[in-house]
Amino acid sequence: MSDKPIVIASDHAGWVLKEKLVGELEALGHAVLNLGTDGPESVDYPAFADLLAAAIRDGRAERGVLVCGTGIGIAIAANRHPEVRAAVCHDETSARLTREHNDANVLALGARLVGDEVAKDCLKTFLSTKFDGGRHVRRVAMLG
């Protein structure tokens, strides 16, 4: 596991869950690079996806977490960047498989769709699962 921080960002719909996940990351012993948002005021999720992508591109982080209402919009925005492979996950299985098969480096969660405990379980699974490599290497290489 890298000693670099986990970068995390959200829009206003994901802010409360993001803050809980920051606490979970810290409790697990991870350094956190929290890029906001920092309150419930309406913001544009693509801007926060861009900030997270820049942190990965610049080498300040290798893995990240994004949160919006569904996880979908912020993942779409993040995936415009070639250094990001963001996957929306709804349970531990999807979090595990996206690491094993897709080598995703960003977990996207929907605050309106998953509860706090499921989100924490997804986070722990995402961070503890390694890429399987093998037959998946060729496919991941085709993504970017």
* pLDDT over 90 at 2, yes or no: no
pLDDT digits over 102-130, tens only?
Answer: 999 999 999 999 999 999 999 999 999 99
pLDDT at site 144: 75
Backbone angles phi, psi at 6, to 5 degrees: -90, 125
Selected catalytic residue, list 12, 89, 90, 101:
101
Quick check: pTM over 0.85? Answer: yes
Residue 101 known to be catalytic: yes
Q: What is the CATH number of the domain that holds 79?
A: 3.40.1400.10
Domain span at residue 119 reads 6-143
* pLDDT over 70 at 1, yes or no: no
Decide if 1 is inside a domain.
Answer: no
Residue 89 known to be catalytic: no
Token digits of residue 109:
């969660």
pLDDT at site 134: 86
- How many independent structural domains does the chain possess? 1
Q: Exposed/middle/buried for 42, CB within 10 Å: 0-12, 13-18, 19+?
A: exposed
Selected catalytic residue, list 30, 68, 81, 89:
68
